[in-house]
Amino acid sequence: MEKNGISGNPEIGISGIAITSRSIMVSVGVSRMGKTSIIFVEPGAKINSQYYCDKLLGQGLLPDIRARCGRYKWALQQDGAPSHTARDTVRYLQHNNVAFIEPDMWPPNSPDLNPVDYTVWGELQQLVTNIEASRLSPN
């Protein structure tokens, strides 16, 4: 017997829910000017420098940042992911006239400088948890 995703055995009074864990990878930018659109990484994609530069920066974040910031100066700050620190990525940013903060200038694990890692993901996880919990309700 199943109702609203909840399965159970009425004879022994046990009920449970099948939860499938899936992960998604996204990229997003935030600043005092607002946030960019969320860029979804293709399932199974290998995030190397080429994918990061072509898909995430070139087709997603950079056009959105430039449109959002307009005439205001801005600088890109990334985390220490290998695709962000790769020589090809640094060359791409320089070639495309993107001001960026060099990785050796970032303080490690700073909540003030990494709002996505320390705030946004926590709120998103809470939202997903609340949705999953509401599915457990026997309405």
The HSE-up count of residue 123 (CA atoms within 13 Å, CB side) is 6
Query: pLDDT confidence of 107, banded at 50, 70, 90?
Result: low
pTM, whole model, 2 decimals?
A: 0.68
37-87 per-position pLDDT tens digit: 888 899 889 999 999 999 999 999 999 999 999 999 999 988 888 999 999
pLDDT reading at 17 higher than 50: no
Query: pLDDT confidence of 14, banded at 50, 70, 90?
Result: very low
- % the chain with pLDDT above 70: 65
Please tell me the predicted confidence (pLDDT) of residue 27: 86
Query: pLDDT confidence of 102, banded at 50, 70, 90?
Result: confident
Can you identify the CATH homologous superfamily of domain 2-133? Ribonuclease H-like superfamily/Ribonuclease H (3.30.420.10)
Domain ranges in the chain are 2-133
Helix (H, G, I), strand (E, B) or coil at 33: coil
More confident residue, 66 or 133: 66
**What is the Cα–Cα distance from 132 to 4, expressed in whole angstroms?**
11
**What is the Cα–Cα distance from 26 to 34, expressed in whole angstroms?**
17
